[in-house]
Amino acid sequence: MYEKSAQLYDALYADKDYAKAAAQLQAVVEARLPRAATLLDVGCGTGRHLEELYGRYQLVEGLDLSPDLLAAAKSRLPGVTLHHGDMTSFDLGKKFDVVVCLFSAIGYVETKERMRQSIAAMSRHLERGGLLILEPWFSPEKYWTGTITANFVDQRDLKIAWMYTSEREGDVSVLDMTYLVGTPTGVSSFREVHRLGLFSNSEYEAAFAAAGLRAEYDPVGLFSRGLFIGQGQTA
């Protein structure tokens, strides 16, 4: 995933209001764990969420599987520790007050078993009473198929048209994306296929419960994809 588009990621999602999302996220944390001082962003991508959260905590760190996305994050956040790892099995040897997994990064694990493993791994990195906040991908009943979607980036020296079809293979959504990229030096194109698992709310809730977390669900969340908020026992 993102092997070809990583360098374009921030331009592709430049319309996302990360500052607003970070403020909403902070309100969720402060309402449930006002003493929170440390945060780990799992699936941190290019570090846009961490950039907004950096000054709100004494310590923030990130983890991602993509070396190319991590390279962009390291350039953006030179003072932040960033880890290369798989969210299904990572072990950093430390714990955090808050662990987040945002912008549907969880979908890339594809299978229900790997989703459960990921939530278990994230929960193991929580301090007692800590928060695990997860932004899901679409559920099976809300996912669409048989459509074509087009998006456009129109900057002075960068033009991108990216289009994708939305299909489904069992409980996996398949987004077949084609990118047309123009710069002053020329125009090129490439294709990527993104596969994201489709998990129901009850499957997420069961995974949180198995990890020892009490979960609640906000159907709107940060970017209208919903938000799961799990908290560990305080005693």
Helix (H, G, I), strand (E, B) or coil at 176: strand
191-232 confidence digits (pLDDT tens): 999 999 999 999 999 999 999 999 999 999 999 899 999 998
pTM of this structure: 0.96
Q: Which residue has the higher pLDDT, 90 or 3?
A: 90
What CATH code would you report for 147-197?
2.20.130.10
Which tokens hold the place of 29?
Answer: 């944390």
116-126 confidence digits (pLDDT tens): 999 999 999 99
Residue spans of the domains in the chain: they are 6-139+198-231, 147-197
* Mean pLDDT, residues 126-147: 96
Residue 219 confidence (pLDDT): 95
- Cβ atoms of 199 and 101 within 8 Å: the answer is no
Which tokens hold the place of 12?
Answer: 């592709």
What residues contact residue 34 under an 8 Å CB cut-off, 6+ apart? none
Homologous superfamily of domain range 6-139+198-231: Vaccinia Virus protein VP39 (3.40.50.150)
